[in-house]
Structures are given as C-alpha cells and as structure tokens.
Structure 1
Amino acid sequence: MHEHDYALNSTQTAQRQVSSVLRNTYALLAMTMAFSGLVAYLAQQANVPHPGIIVTLVAFYGLFFLTVKLRDSAWGLVTTFALTGFMGYTLGPILNLYLGMPNGGEVISSAFTMTALVFFGLSAFVLTTRKDMSFLSGFITAGFFVLLAAVVASFFFQISGLQLAISAGFVLFASACILYQTSAIIHGGETNYILATITLYVSIYNLFISLLQLFGFMSSDD
C-alpha cells in the first residue's frame, strides 16, 4: 500500500513539474517573441544596417552559450532577452530588404502566418497525442551537419537552386526541432524552461526566415 502511494505521489510530482515547465516555457516564449518583434519593428523603422554574418554568429553563439551556462539563475532570463532582442535587431534589416520588393508586405505576411500555423499545429499535435518524438534526435543531428555543409558550400560555389534547397531544409529542420523540444518537455526530458524557450525561439526564428526566403523566391518568379 505504501509503495503504491509512493508511486502515485511520484507520478503526480512529475506531472506537476512537467506542467510547470510547459507553462513557464510558453509564458517566457510569448514575452520573448513580443520583445523580439518590438526590437525588429524599431530596427526596421530606424533602417539600421545588418551587423553582418560574422558579428551575428559571434553574438548569437556567445549569448546562446551564456544563457545555457546561466540557465539556473535569474541572469539566465536577462541573457534570454538579450539573445532574442539581438535576433530581433537582425530581423529589422531583413524585413526592410523584403519591403523593398514590389509585393514585399505580402511575402512577409505570408511567411509570418505560415510560421504561426506550423508552430501551433506542430505543438498542438504533440500536446494532444503526447507522442514521444525522441527518435528525431538522429535526424536533427544529421540535418544540422548537412545544412552546415550546404551553407558553407553556398559561400564558395554558385549552384543553381542551392539557396532554395537550404531554405527548404531549414523549414524541415526547424519543424523537427519544435516537435522534438515540445515532446521533451511533456515527457520530462527537458526540465529547464529557459533552455526550452531559447530552443523553441531559435526554431521559430529559423522557420520564419526560411519561409520568408521561400516565399520571396516564389514571388520573384511571378
């Protein structure tokens, strides 16, 4: 009897922890998305220049790993907003680039809508079915290195359709990351809501940028 009560209490404790991580993750994600969107709007309105690929990578990975290191302290929240704010800043010049197109506003709107639909659709699928998506870890790892190699190749070789393929690959990669991370939360594999938040944020950011490139490419063919 005591063993049964202990097992029941352990299950209830685990469920409460999962609910807490999930609730905190989506709350923080909503705040960081709003903050990032505000920074992107201000950067777009101010017509700021893009910091460049080197500065972007150094700042992103620096803030990302700093957030990982500080994930168990209040400073982790500070670096989370610093990271998402910086990514919002880099988005401003990109939006201006597309707004300079004849139908740039429509391209941005389409990419934003599709990003929201994909994220909420994938999240709802995992939360509803509660399927374990841990099997995607191999695909995500392999996909990372394949996309990294493709991005590096794009700097040295002008291959027709490579950028389009990279964008499509990032859409699949980001979608897999959303499925994997959401599943990790509800199955207790991810217990830190700060790490869960930045992982989902980066996936959403990459998804939006990739869809923006795809829609922009299709629009240019019209």
Structure 2
Amino acid sequence: MENSFNSFDNHDRVLVAQSTEVERVAFYKKTYAHVAGGVLLFIIFEYLLLQSNTIVEFALSMTQGWKWLLLLGGFMLVTNYAESTALRTTDKNLQYMAYAGYVFAEAFIFIPLIYIAVAYTESFEVLQQAGIVTLTLFAGLSAVVIMTKKDFSFLKSALTIGFFIAIGLIVAGTLFGFNLGLWFSVGMCVLAGGSILYQTSNLVHKFTTEDYIPAALGLFASLMLLFWYVLQIFLDRD
C-alpha cells in the first residue's frame, strides 16, 4: 500500500521524515498501538465467529474449489476498499470503520485455518508458537527499518511481481487440485517479510504524522499475511 493524498489538501500535513523527534516518536507509538489494537480486535472477532457452528461450517465450505477463489476475490476487494478509504480521507471515523472492517474480513478468512489448527492439535499450542514466531519476526523487521531509517521503497516492484506470481499459483493449485506445499509457505513468509520492511519504510518516508491509522492498517495486513503462512508451516511440520 503506497501513500497518496491526491484527493484532499495536504499542505498542512507534515511528513514523518520532516517532523521533530518528539513527533516521530508519538507517531510510531500511535501506529503500533493501533496495530496492537487491530490484533486484539482480530482475536475478539475470531473468538466470536468460532462460537457459531453455522458460520464455521459456511467458512469451511468456502475452502473448496472455485468457492475458495471467490472468497479470496471478495477478501481482496475488501482489502482494496479499506486501504483506499483509509488513505483518501482525513475523517478518523471513516478510517476506523475501514480498519475495523478489514480486521473483520481477516478474522473471517482465518476461520478455516484457525479451526483446523485447533482441531488437528487439540490445543492452542500451535497457534501460540506461530503467534510468537510471527510477532518476533515482525518486531525485528520493523526495528531494522526504524533504527536504520533505510528506504525500502525499492521493494515495491519485486513485491508486486511476487504477489502476482503467488496469486497465479494459488489459482492454479485451487483449479487443478495440487498442494502448493511447504516451500510455497516459506516463499510467502519471505514476501510477507519484504512487505513488512516496505510498510515500515512508508512510516518513515511516505506517511505524515496524522496517518497513523492507514499506516497501522498496512502493517496489520502484512503481519496477518506472515502469521497465515507461519501457521501453515507449523501445521505442515506436524
């Protein structure tokens, strides 16, 4: 997700890179607090959704064949809408609604994977392990960018190509019924890691001090992508 403010006046908005040290620290605190809030809201949504057998059965039924592609397509539409809404408005209420809507979409698409992880292991141990690994990687990659202030915007083209290839493989695997396997999950973790570097770099070089909600949304999306494939690796390992 790349920052763009063509739709409204940006003259009074200060880029984080041009702000004072105090303003930068405040922006980082707000952004990561909102990422943490997104994670907490995701857990709440996931818990509530898993309480309904009807919702769980429906979500599981959507993992078969073209239905899975339909679900992924719907999720991508929600993602694009949430990101564009958060970026193109200064109305914090609309930004929060877009963020919450995106978190809910993530919670719904995670239902089959979370259900399988719990049912397969008969415990939350795998989820806890995958969560710890994901958060550790996320924190490490974010710290690299913030401490070095290196601009990782050059990753945009590589990430775009990588994600298009990944989508093509997912579509092919779904249509022709083959398992993408462990190495695909590893590759997607690499892509997710690159996305975290890119999104964190945007915090420093692209966003203004008032953009902590869209910044958090982008980071949350990359975090959840990483969690999805780290969890896949743990399940394949077992």
TM-score by length of 1: 0.81
Gaps of 5+ in 1: 1-10
2:164 paired with 1:148: no
CA 1:65/1:18 → structure 2, altered by over 3 Å: closer, same or farther?
A: farther
CA 1:102/1:181 → structure 2, altered by over 3 Å: closer, same or farther?
A: closer
2:46 maps to 40
Contact persistence 1:184–1:190 (CA under 8 A): yes
Contact persistence 2:49–2:108 (CA under 8 A): yes
2:195 paired with 1:189: no
2:181 maps to 163
1:77 maps to 96
1:24 maps to 30
Q: Counterparts of 2:73 and 2:175 in 1: how far apart (Å)?
A: 18
Gaps of 5+ in 2: 1-16, 63-67
2:144 maps to 125
Q: Counterparts of 1:96 and 1:13 in 2: how far apart (Å)?
A: 45
Offset of residue 15 of structure 1? 5.2
Cα RMSD (Å): 2.5
Rg larger in 1 or in 2? Answer: 1
CA 1:104/1:166 → structure 2, altered by over 3 Å: closer, same or farther?
A: farther
Q: Determine helix, strand or coil for the equivalent of 1:101.
A: helix
Q: Determine helix, strand or coil for the equivalent of 1:131.
A: coil
Give 4+ residue runs of structure 1 displaced > 6 Å after superposition.
Answer: none
Question: Where does 1:97-116 land on structure 2 (aligned, <5 Å)?
Answer: 97-102=116-121, 105-116=124-135
Percent identity of equivalent pairs: 27
Question: Where does 1:198-213 land on structure 2 (aligned, <5 Å)?
Answer: 198-213=217-232
Contact persistence 1:174–1:204 (CA under 8 A): yes
Q: Counterparts of 2:191 and 2:19 in 1: how far apart (Å)?
A: 33
Offset of residue 126 of structure 1? 1.4
Name the structure, 1 or 2, with higher relative contact order (CA <8 Å, separation 6+). 2
CA 1:185/1:34 → structure 2, altered by over 3 Å: closer, same or farther?
A: same
Q: Determine helix, strand or coil for the equivalent of 2:51.
A: helix
Between Structure 1 and Structure 2, the one with more helix by share is 1
TM-score by length of 2: 0.76
Question: Where does 1:83-94 land on structure 2 (aligned, <5 Å)?
Answer: 83-94=102-113
2:235 maps to 216
CA 1:59/1:131 → structure 2, altered by over 3 Å: closer, same or farther?
A: closer
Q: Deviations over 1:12-42 (max 9, x none)?
A: 6465664454333212211111111111122
Q: Deviations over 1:70-92 (max 9, x none)?
A: 53212121121121023123323
Report the number of matched residues.
208
